[in-house]
Chain A
Amino acid sequence: SAVISQKPSRDICQRGTSLTIQCQVDSQVTMMFWYRQQPGQSLTLIATANQGSEATYESGFVIDKFPISRPNLTFSTLTVSNMSPEDSSIYLCSVEADRENYGYTFGSGTRLTVV
Chain B
Amino acid sequence: GQQLNQSPQSMFIQEGEDVSMNCTSSSIFNTWLWYKQDPGEGPVLLIALYKAGELTSNGRLTAQFGITRKDSFLNISASIPSDVGIYFCAGRPYGNKLVFGAGTILRVKS
Q: Which residues of A line the B interface, CB within 8 A? A: 1, 4, 6, 31, 33, 41-45, 48, 59, 92, 94, 96-97, 101-109, 111
Task: Provide the bound-state CA to CA distance between A94 and B50, in Å.
Answer: 19
Q: Which residues of B line the A interface, CB within 8 A? A: 1, 31, 33, 35, 40-45, 48, 50, 88, 90, 92, 96-98, 100-103
7 more A-B residue pairs beyond the given contacts A42-B101, A102-B31, A103-B33, with a C-beta to C-beta distance below 8 A: A6-B42, A33-B98, A43-B43, A102-B33, A102-B92, A104-B33, A109-B42
A residues in contact with B31, CB < 8 Å: 102
Please list 14 pairs of residues, one from A and one from B, whose beta carbons are closer than 8 Å in the complex, sorted by A's number: A6-B42, A33-B97, A43-B98, A44-B100, A48-B97, A94-B98, A101-B48, A102-B48, A103-B45, A104-B45, A104-B98, A105-B45, A106-B44, A109-B41
